[in-house]
Amino acid sequence: MVFCELDEKEFLLAESDGSAFTAPHYDGHGAVLVLLDGVDEGLLEALLLESYLLRAPASIRRLFPDT
């Protein structure tokens, strides 16, 4: 599971080639599930970084100004 902004969730699901999906449990939450066997490595890297930065302290987020 990776965190995302709630307003980005539908976009991620539509653009993920099926490797990102959701379940009823996550309805209304900014999170998607990811099939590790099927996800593009670059997409997975981007999803993990964004997910981490959404929950990271501000001092860490400042180290990644371009994301």
In the predicted structure, residue 28 carries a pLDDT above the cut 90: yes
In the predicted structure, residue 66 carries a pLDDT above the cut 90: no
Q: Which residues contact 11 (CB under 8 A, 6 or more apart)?
A: none
Question: Environment class of residue 31 by beta-carbon count within 10 Å: exposed (0-12), middle (13-18) or buried (19+)?
Answer: middle
Q: What is the pLDDT of residues 33-63, one digit of tens each?
A: 999 998 999 989 999 999 999 999 999 999 9
Q: What is the rounded average pLDDT for all residues in the chain? A: 94
pTM, two decimal places: 0.85
The answer to whether the beta carbons of residues 13 and 21 sit under 8 Å apart is yes
